Amino acid sequence: MISEMAKPDIEIKYKEIFINNEFVPAKSGKTFSVINPANKQIIAEIAEGDKADVDAAVAAAKKAFARNSEWRKMDPSGRSKLIYKLADLMERDQDILATLESLEVGKPIGDAKQEVIGAINALRYYGEWCDKYSGETFQAPGNMVSMTRKEPVGVVGQIIPWNVPVLMLTWKWGPALAAGCTIVLKPAESTPLGALHVASLVKEAGFPPGVINVVPGYGHTAGAAISSHMDVNKVAFTGSVGVGKKIMEAAAASNLKRVTLELGGKSPLIVCEDFDVNTAAALCHNFICFNSGQICIAPSRVFVHESIHDAFVSKLVDQAKARKVGDPFESGVQQGPQVNEAIYKRVLSYIEVGKKEGAKLEVGGNPIGDKGYFIEPTVFTNVTDDMKIAKEEIFGPVQCVLKFKTMEEVIERANNTTYGLAAGILTNDINKAMNFANAVEAGSVWVNCYMAFAASAPFGGYKQSGIGRENGIYGLENYLETKTITMNINPVN
């Protein structure tokens, strides 16, 4: 059972839409509730932005991007200083941001603190890029010389998910600001609090009005308005495949704006017979249950060599039974609730599907208590590749264990999916590791580790896991246009 919930001492100050460096109510006057998933209580009522508010935010961003605006005329080093100042203010308020993250997402406070630190580091990384990118010069026929110039794409729309909201905010703000773009951000309706607090720091940092705007609201209204807006030149989205397709359709039907997408996954993690079983079980368990399984790169398909399968499953079950699930603010808690009722019901429905499909429920599978959206860590064995639980993204603490015999076989099975976001392999054989890494169809491949990130390393997916990359110079390129300038240089007489 879940003990009485802790009550963190924090005031929710920012509940309105952020446009032109000011917090304003929604033009409709509407609000929506943000729910604490650990106890189902209302945390705050937030202004509900829709098309009219997006129009106002885009107009502000467009004005801030005008050719003679303060932002456009600012030296790259000036942009760098502002980005660093924002990161410094986030560091000052890191405890506030982590508390908000735990409240609205339901993740353990320790994990939330680590995410905020990662977000700050990502922002600082891009603060260094403002004056580091440049064009090239090329040979041309005769007396011609050609050169390229890198320019910001303009007003960008950014739609971020609810599972790691502060980190996703800086992954998108960082490269956009370094490139010199202006921003209209829509946080997820379940988790707008952290984004609104960071918005309050934008003005304190000294950004010109209109450079960054934050419009909380629903996807089918505010998100759709961003995706179809004629004055938005690029949209970046992290979320589901279904919504990603709608955004692409809207972008094509409007002004053919650029689109980058980071979508879902059904990531395979291969456990070879030469790897320590205890270490493998701990790693596989920790990363399927991280953030209550609500992570697009979760190792939800674990392929285990048949010779160690039974021993591995035994250790995995022990890990699941020992995991502490409960109040995100309670010391020692490793797993909080699912983020909302819809996700909670979705995960439980997949567990029922797994049972009906003939998979063996080794441990878990049940809700915990009735005060929040808590679900036991769950392990299925006897899973086959054609089962729904092995093919579709569950987004919960549910791990499917599958046997394999040979590397050639497991590579083919790992690739037998519409997704291609991430993959991993645990082995002491460098040949196995490199053969798998080269052959698997995934944007990120981890060898003897998992979910290891660096702000400089690109992240994104193959197939229906997305288009484009975030982080590093690859993420920066998404916010830059390449202009070619060719000059005729007359010879000196």
Return the active site residues: 262
What CA dihedral angle connects 13, 19, 22 and 28, to 10 degrees?
A: -70
The neighbour count for residue 231, using CB atoms within 10 Å, is: 17
Asked whether 110 and 120 are in contact (CB, 8 A), the reply is no
Helices (H) and strands (E) in the chain, counts: 16, 22
Name which of 419, 456, 417, 414 is nearest 438 in CA terms: 414
Separation of alpha carbons 149 and 169, rounded Å:
27
* DSSP secondary structure of 313-365: HHHHHHHHHH--BS-TTSTT--B---SSHHHHHHHHHHHHHHHHHT-EEEE--
The neighbour count for residue 267, using CB atoms within 10 Å, is: 33
Residues 6+ apart with CB under 8 A from 338: 37, 106, 292, 294, 344, 347, 373, 374, 375, 396
Asked whether 62 and 155 are in contact (CB, 8 A), the reply is yes
Helices 430-439, 407-414: crossing angle, 10 deg rounding: 30
Residues 6+ apart with CB under 8 A from 226: 54, 58, 157, 159, 184, 186, 215, 232, 235
Helices 165-179, 193-205: crossing angle, 10 deg rounding: 30
State how beta strands 367-368 and 374-375 pair.
Answer: antiparallel
Torsion sign across C-alpha atoms 395, 456, 104, 226 = negative
The CA radius of gyration of the chain, in Å to the nearest whole number, is: 24
Asked whether 243 and 439 are in contact (CB, 8 A), the reply is no
